[in-house]
Structure 1
Amino acid sequence: MELKKSKLALTLASVLSAGFMSTSAMAADSLATAFKEGTAFGDFRLRYEDAEIGATDGSALTFRTRLGFKTAAVSGFSALVEFEDNRQVLGEDDYNTALAGVNKGKAEISDPEFTELEQAYIAYANGGFSAKLGRQVITLDGHRHIGHVGWRQDRQTFDALNVGFKSGDFNATLAYVYKHNRIFGEVRDVDADTILVNLSYDTGFGKAVAYGYQIAPEATQEVDTYGVSFTGATGGDVKFSYSAEYAVQDNKTLDIDTSYLSLELGATFSGFTVKVGQETLGSDDGNGHFITPLATLHKFNGFADVFLGHTFNSPATGMGLVDTYAFVGTKVGGVALKAFYHTFDSDEGSLDYGDEIDFVAATKFGSYTTGLKYATYSAKDGSYADTDRLWIWVETSF
């Protein structure tokens, strides 16, 4: 599915700009109404994180603020602007954020101080057609390939033209991304020439998806990924869930070809949910592996974040990763409890990367959410260091 990127971008821009010109005579009172009936919004998160990686430790107490405003829709058009800020609190700042240029000889915690424009876009919606032009959040299919990295204090966004179409059970998303705004303030933001195509259909017993993501940032690897997935669930007293995904990837920078496979089965009964699954980030004879550079990586392969290096093809991980995992979750007295177990192996060869146990407890009181999360990773075969991470947080929004 080779796409002419410049031609596609021009076509998408023409579609949206045609709509803009058709409303160029919008009356001043309509614009006033759009702002008068608009909505201010925001959210606040105070979080403590403690990390121990081998013999190195670090800790952070940070306060993240987002404030924004969205206009009401007028003739299908609306606009949104949002700012984001993160501050270190009470001098609790003994940690590295290496990709943001902060190196104190401490453990890595990827939450630097920053203030930035988080989102700013113009949107149009009419029937099943929608479009956004500007800086925006884009997430697709559970964040495995395209996500917002919302766990970190700096959310990932994209400068893009994003067009959607829905007709019955069919959905299509087509986006041209010209900048990746990463999670390290503005330090690691990169100009891009990325195309995202995602097509889905709800069959009634599950959602079938086909996608093609041509990711071409200037500052990292250029990869083309094409895949299919199917996700569904059954009803009844015992509810079963199932998902399967397969993708192939052409890494133009490293000149390698790799594949991805994910399988998961789950059941919900008597207030409990259990799942088992396996995810494989394939290797090309040890020369490199399947990567997902725009994913919400913290969601996958353990909360200790040991395997984030897989995304950027660090030398220790060219052998690929096989993550076999189990999950159990329930709710007790209004507190949601979750536990995960992971065992990690290489795709190429027979390396045992170790295992990990994760726990999460979270609850709401009024408009506030508070939680505790703990991850402990035990290394094997000398590839990585034992890692423990603890988070305690409280957040609210309006």
Structure 2
Amino acid sequence: MKKLICTIGLGIFCLATTQAQFTLDGQFRPRTEYRNGFGSIIPDAADPGFAISTRARLNAGLKTENFNVFLSIQDVLVWGENRQILPDDQNDSFAVFEAWAELNLGSGWSTKLGRQVLSYDDQRILGGLDWAQQGRNHDAAMIKYGKDKFKMDFAFAFNQDFDNPTGFQSVGTAYNTTGFFSYKTMQMLHLSQKWDSFSGSALLMNNGFQNFDDEGAADGLNNLFTAGVHLKYNKGSFGAAANAYFQSGERQGGLEVKGASLLGLDVSYMASSKVGLGAGVEFISGNDGETAGETGAFFPLYGTNHKFNGLMDYFYVGNHANSVGLTDVHLSANFKLGEKGGLMAKVLNFSGAEELPSGEKSLGTELDLVYSQGFKGFALKVGYSHLFPSDGMYELKGVAEADAASSQNWAWAMLIIKPKFFTTAEK
């Protein structure tokens, strides 16, 4: 142990005396949740869920003139998941969240290689999904360019899931990981430009999903192409943001996608230094069910979907992938409470972009409340959400209204601590 401590101390001393900046920090984030209709209608005969989960994350970064290296390891634990004196982790969640190196190539060019977060714009299509304790990452290689207010990122990936003890197999490249739009190949181009009060970006992305024949042998790829733009305007007290994305190609399993789209518009207004108001609408195309093997349903593939369409995650969070789509009309208000406090209130009305088999479109209304309070060294967030389902929501989720609990709600509290263990001065 003494040798280990001496080695670590010597390493830190060497870093402190070289032309590099080393940072060691972390995150401790326990969250308590009461789920009585989170994600789907809960039947009256079912008991609500209640549990505490924790994210524990340790980050180490090294920044030099020619390269940056970053490593993030984490564990996601649910209180009580391991029996007493169990020698291993029951949920096997300890993992490398990020591990990448970025090399400075000069003249605005760089390359970033490894496991990394891909997060752009408002995170509608690509986001870090920080709400989820495990987060979201990608194993990719990226070429980056930046000059003045223009940026370009081009990323590509080729994924495998070898279980060979050597970590490699010499025959075949079949990718057997499926679900949640896990891709075998990916090519992504993101372009962005900023002006005084306006910014715009364009996204082009192709995802290749492993296809298998009737005998289970690898048989090429199903390619799904997503393209769109994100526009943002801010001047004085007024702000606006718009999204327009389109999808075509094939999903996993060969389901053909035609004419799928996502269109959104949000406006904001600062009524005072302590009150901000917002309004918006989002349309996501759905499947009309008229043609077998074909869909017009859009899916926001790798975004921070918890951020959109209500915090109770009724849509596009492991669900609603090939359904009736969604029209989301919402109003919000943000109140500043003291120097470090705030309250967010949001009302969302949901309806299907396509009709349900009964002819219904109306799905219901959701109310979201989030209180945030910062303290010295940590922060606390508390939330409450309530769903007021209409007839269409019961049909969509497959629970008869007579069998559903009279109240559909969700409450949570989360503590966020981000300790900084060690930082050398930038040289």
Q: TM-score, normalised by structure 2?
A: 0.73
1:265 alignment partner AA:
V
Partner of residue 83, structure 1: 73
1:369 alignment partner AA:
A
- Three-state SS of the structure 1 residue aligned to 2:184 is strand
Residues 1:250 and 2:248 aligned together: yes
CA distance in 2 between partners of 1:368 and 1:293 (Å): 32
Alignment check: 8 A CA contact 1:61 1:92 kept: no
CA distance in 1 between partners of 2:318 and 2:296 (Å): 9
Q: Which of 33, 51, 58 is equivalent to 2:35?
A: 51
Partner of residue 26, structure 1: none
Change (3 A) 1:170 1:35: closer
Residues 1:348 and 2:354 aligned together: yes
1:370-393 CA distances to partner (integer Å, 9 max, x unpaired)? 010111112222223664221101
Partner of residue 3, structure 2: none
Residues 1:323 and 2:328 aligned together: yes
Change (3 A) 1:35 1:84: farther
Change (3 A) 1:199 1:37: closer
Partner of residue 117, structure 1: 96
Change (3 A) 1:67 1:187: farther
Alignment check: 8 A CA contact 2:372 2:382 kept: yes
Partner of residue 228, structure 1: 229
Higher normalized contact order (CA 8 Å, seq sep 6+, divided by chain length) = 2
Question: How far did 1:163 drift?
Answer: 2.0
Change (3 A) 1:171 1:354: same
Change (3 A) 1:37 1:157: same
1:318-363 CA distances to partner (integer Å, 9 max, x unpaired)? x211111111001113321001111011112351111100000011
CA distance in 2 between partners of 1:51 and 1:215 (Å): 34
* Count of residues in correspondence between the two structures: 342
Q: Which has more radius of gyration?
A: 2
Alignment check: 8 A CA contact 2:15 2:22 kept: no
Change (3 A) 1:34 1:174: farther
Q: Which of 9, 32, 41 is equivalent to 2:25?
A: 41
- Three-state SS of the structure 2 residue aligned to 1:298 is helix
Change (3 A) 1:264 1:151: same
Q: State the 4+ residue runs in structure 1 displaced beyond 4 angstroms.
A: 29-37, 90-93, 186-191, 219-222, 309-312
2:379 alignment partner AA:
T
Change (3 A) 1:127 1:373: farther
Question: How far did 1:77 drift?
Answer: 1.2
Q: Report the identity percentage.
A: 23
Alignment check: 8 A CA contact 1:192 1:216 kept: yes
- Three-state SS of the structure 2 residue aligned to 1:151 is coil
CA distance in 2 between partners of 1:225 and 1:87 (Å): 34
Partner of residue 17, structure 1: none
> Any unmatched runs of 5+ in structure 2?
1-12, 84-89, 162-176, 212-220, 290-294, 400-406, 421-427
Partner of residue 163, structure 1: 143
- Three-state SS of the structure 1 residue aligned to 2:53 is strand
Q: Please give the residue correspondences for 1:383-394 in structure 2 after superposition, counting only pairs within 5 Å.
A: 383-384=396-397, 387-394=408-415
Partner of residue 130, structure 1: 110
Alignment check: 8 A CA contact 1:291 1:310 kept: no
Change (3 A) 1:49 1:291: same
Partner of residue 142, structure 1: 122
- Three-state SS of the structure 1 residue aligned to 2:122 is helix
Partner of residue 15, structure 1: none
Alignment check: 8 A CA contact 1:194 1:217 kept: no
Alignment check: 8 A CA contact 1:288 1:313 kept: no
Partner of residue 201, structure 2: 209
Partner of residue 107, structure 1: none
Change (3 A) 1:348 1:145: same
Question: How far did 1:312 drift?
Answer: 5.6
CA distance in 2 between partners of 1:246 and 1:180 (Å): 32
1:162-221 CA distances to partner (integer Å, 9 max, x unpaired)? 22211122111111133499xxxx997945201111111113221111111112244997
Question: How far did 1:130 drift?
Answer: 2.6
Change (3 A) 1:175 1:312: farther
CA distance in 2 between partners of 1:114 and 1:390 (Å): 25
CA distance in 2 between partners of 1:119 and 1:355 (Å): 38
Alignment check: 8 A CA contact 1:83 1:117 kept: yes
Alignment check: 8 A CA contact 2:183 2:207 kept: no
1:41 alignment partner AA:
D
CA distance in 1 between partners of 2:388 and 2:209 (Å): 34
1:145 alignment partner AA:
I
Alignment check: 8 A CA contact 1:242 1:265 kept: yes
Question: How far did 1:241 drift?
Answer: 0.4
Change (3 A) 1:133 1:33: farther
Q: CA RMSD, aligned part only?
A: 3.0
Partner of residue 276, structure 2: 273
- Three-state SS of the structure 2 residue aligned to 1:292 is coil
Residues 1:192 and 2:184 aligned together: yes
Alignment check: 8 A CA contact 1:363 1:369 kept: yes
Alignment check: 8 A CA contact 1:292 1:311 kept: no
Partner of residue 12, structure 1: none
CA distance in 2 between partners of 1:129 and 1:33 (Å): 28
Question: How far did 1:87 drift?
Answer: 1.6
- Three-state SS of the structure 1 residue aligned to 2:153 is strand
Alignment check: 8 A CA contact 2:190 2:204 kept: yes
Q: TM-score, normalised by structure 1?
A: 0.78
Alignment check: 8 A CA contact 2:206 2:225 kept: yes
